[in-house]
């Protein structure tokens, strides 16, 4: 059985042709073609067995002129958890001041993954 993916690890965007067999639990990769480097092979294997993504979104801030602070997961999380993770983050709130790099959620959905601020949210009235 063949599957086709575009590698998203760099701007080259190589078109990958993956051969393998679908088992009860996953797709067992036997060969990968079209990759310009070995990272494409690892990407294909991971994408077809346990795909993960870095989640980028925003969290509401109180006490700042900025209403939403951009955040991202510090590590990738399983792709099938993205919607649930978005719901958890959508309900979260934090208070100013927030500094870029602050951890706003320490253990997202029991994954051990932290959600960190990607920008400052200064307080409305600096001390
Ligand atoms: S296979 Fe290598 S060169 Fe091609 S897109 Fe992936 S990382 Fe980039």
pLDDT tens figures, 68-89: 999 999 999 999 999 999 999 9
Same domain, 65 and 105: yes
How far apart (Å, rounded) are the C-alpha atoms in residues 61 and 97? 9
Number of domains the chain contains? 2
Residues with CB under 6 A from ligand 1: 7, 9-10, 12-14, 35-37, 39-40, 43
Same domain, 70 and 39: no
Determine which residue's CA is closest to atom 2 belonging to ligand 1. 37
pLDDT score, position 23: 86
Tell me the pTM. Answer: 0.81
Please identify, by atom number, the ligand 1 atom nearest to the C-alpha of residue 40: 1
Same domain, 42 and 85: no
Q: Are 90 and 58 in contact (CB under 8 A)?
A: no
Cα separations in angstroms, 126 against 33, 64, 96, 119: 57, 10, 10, 17
Q: Which of 10, 17, 32 to mutate to test the pocket of ligand 1 (most atoms within 8 A of CB)?
A: 10
Confidence of residue 64 (pLDDT cuts 50, 70, 90): very high
Cα separations in angstroms, 3 against 14, 15, 30, 50, 59: 14, 11, 11, 15, 37
Same domain, 9 and 44: yes
Q: Which of 8, 12, 16 to mutate to test the pocket of ligand 1 (most atoms within 8 A of CB)?
A: 12
Same domain, 24 and 61: no
Determine which residue's CA is closest to atom 1 belonging to ligand 1. 40
- The CATH number of residue 106's host domain is 3.10.530.10
Q: Are 104 and 92 in contact (CB under 8 A)?
A: yes
Domain that holds residue 74: 56-117
- Ligand 1 centroid to Cα of residue 57, in Å, is 26
Confidence of residue 27 (pLDDT cuts 50, 70, 90): confident
- Ligand 1 centroid to Cα of residue 8, in Å, is 7
């Amino acid at each position: 059985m063949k599957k086709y993916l575009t590698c998203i690890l760099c701007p080259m965007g190589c078109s990958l042709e993956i051969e393998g067999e679908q088992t009860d639990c996953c797709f067992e990769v036997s060969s990968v073609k079209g990759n310009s480097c070995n990272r494409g092979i690892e990407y294909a294997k991971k994408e077809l067995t346990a795909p993960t993504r870095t989640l980028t979104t925003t969290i509401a801030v109180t006490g700042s002129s900025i209403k939403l602070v951009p955040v991202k997961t510090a590590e990738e999380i399983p792709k099938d958890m993205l919607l649930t993770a978005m719901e958890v983050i959508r309900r979260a709130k934090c208070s100013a001041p927030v500094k870029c790099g602050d951890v706003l959620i320490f253990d997202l959905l029991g994954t051990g993954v932290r959600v960190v601020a990607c920008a400052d949210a200064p307080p409305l009235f600096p001390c």
